[in-house]
Every structure is written in C-alpha cells, then in structure tokens.
Amino acid sequence: MLDQVTITILSENRVENPLLIAEPGLSMHISSPEAELLFDTGLRDAFLRNAEQLKIDLAKVEKIMFSHGHYDHTGGLYYYLKKYGKATVICHYNIFNRKFRIIDDVKLEVGIPQEKSELTKLGATFEFHAHPYNFSENILSSGEIPRITDYEVPDEIHQELSLESYITDELHDDMALILKTSKGLIILLGDSHSGPVNTMKHAMNLTGIKEVYAVMGGMNLSEASTKKIEHIVKGFEQINPRYVVPLHSTGFRATNMLYELFRERMLLLNTGDKLTLDL
C-alpha cells in the first residue's frame, strides 16, 4: 500500500492563485514512490504553464492516463508533445471515436481535437486497455466501469458517430485512476460519465478494499436533475469516503448537497492545490 502520495491539480475550472491559469478542463499530477503520472491533460496548455509555476517537472512523467475522449481532458496532449517530444498514453480503444454533445439542438464536436496520426507523429504512443491496467503495484486504471445503479445512466446529450449514424455515446471509454493507500482508496475521476457511485463501487470490488480515503475529480452533475443528485448523494453517504473533492463538472448544486453531508470532509480545492497523504 502507498504511504506517500501527492496529487496536484494542474488544470481546473477554478483558480485563486493569481500566478496560475484556470480553464474549463481537468489535469492532475500524481507523485508517489511507485510512479509519476498525469491524469488527463486539460483543454490546452494551462497544465504546462501551471506546472512550471508550481516547480513540477513534467518531463519526469512516466505515463499519461486519459479518463475519456472529450477535448477538455485530452486537448493538452498536443502541447505536451510539442514541449517534450514523447508520451506514453494509457486509454480506452474508443478514445478516438467522433464524439458530440447536443446543445440547443446543435451537435458540437467534443472529441480529441487532433487525429491519432498527428499525435503519433509528434511522439505519442497509445496503449489501449478496456480492462484494468496496472501502472505499478498499487496504482491502476479502473478499466470499463459497470453501470449498476439505476440512476447513473448514459445521457442522450452525448452522441457519437457510428457508421454514418449518430447514436447515444454510452462513454464506455470513461475510466478512473485508483490508488491503493494505507488509509484506503484514492479514486480520481475525469468526468465520471459512468457515475461516481458506480465508479467507487467498482474500485472497491476490483481491489477488495472497502475504505475510500478520497474521491476526487469531475462528477458530471452540473446539469443533472435534483433527483439524480439526491440519489448520488445517498450513494456517497452509504460508501462514506473520508474526503470528497469535487472538481470541474460537478456543479454548484451537487457540491452544495455533498457539503451539507460531509462538511469539513469536503475539500474545495482549486487549480494549484494539492491532496497529500504522507504517513
């Protein structure tokens, strides 16, 4: 089990430090004795510029994991490759599917901004895994996340192009990063399109560890119904993580409801902030 972990938010929708940049995206840097990783790369190059300000050398990153194929989590890879020249990316094989979001009856393309061939030419190596992937002894990806709750279902506003037809994108490429620590699991979410409760339950079943020390990331609830948020909050109450860190797409209403439940165990972190475990 890990006794030391530092997770730094390199890119996020909110910022307080005037030397850092916020953007509507997400990127986190994970430092531990076992591995140094990036979880998502945000929308553009904010994570690179913020890492420089925070004195984090991203050249030491061993691998990058993509939580899913939306542009606000993958768009920064292009800028990383331009700066560092190479990267090994762990992701689902659906990551390059053409993805869309329906906004006011208009289809907005929201997938990775670049083609796989362009990123490969810049130095990217893609490793596709639908099943859990072990970065090290105590750090792994979730693989595809089973949808077992009846309130965390695919949203029809997300579509993908398949054989010249637009179909609901069930976002099977949605994956979490799981860290096994001496205090319990740390679960990192991109947008949690599979649902944060489904994700936590899957992480616990996958590892056999029933304690969740922290769940941290986007929860895709900014536009969810109040009823759905209430169901998810009840799911959180049953799992009872030690800390909850809502970021990115969680939304004000869900954050407020989770705060009412967890109070001082809710950590309202911003770009540049850290979650640290050091025993």
CATH number, domain containing residue 202 = 3.60.15.10
Specify the 3-state DSSP secondary structure of 245: strand
Q: With bands split at pLDDT 50, 70 and 90, how would you rate the model's confidence at 160?
A: confident
Contact 270/240 with Cβ under 8 angstroms?
A: no
Distance CA 14, CA 84 (A): 26
Distance CA 271, CA 15 (A): 5
Say if 247 falls within a structural domain.
Answer: yes
Residue 75 dihedral angles phi and psi, to the nearest 5°: -60, -25
Say if 279 falls within a structural domain.
Answer: no
Contact 128/95 with Cβ under 8 angstroms?
A: yes
Q: With bands split at pLDDT 50, 70 and 90, how would you rate the model's confidence at 129?
A: very high
Say if 43 falls within a structural domain.
Answer: yes
Distance CA 91, CA 71 (A): 14
Number of domains into which the chain is organized: 1
What are the tens digits of pLDDT across the range 191-227? 999 999 999 999 999 999 999 999 999 999 999 999 9
What are the tens digits of pLDDT across the range 134-145? 999 999 999 999
Say if 278 falls within a structural domain.
Answer: no
Q: With bands split at pLDDT 50, 70 and 90, how would you rate the model's confidence at 165?
A: confident
Cα 236 → chain centroid: 18
Contact 41/29 with Cβ under 8 angstroms?
A: no
Distance CA 264, CA 243 (A): 9
Say if 274 falls within a structural domain.
Answer: no
Say if 184 falls within a structural domain.
Answer: yes
Mean pLDDT for the chain? Answer: 96
Say if 276 falls within a structural domain.
Answer: no
Q: Which domain holds residue 209?
A: 4-269
Would you state the pLDDT for residue 156?
80
- % of the chain exceeding 90 in pLDDT: 90
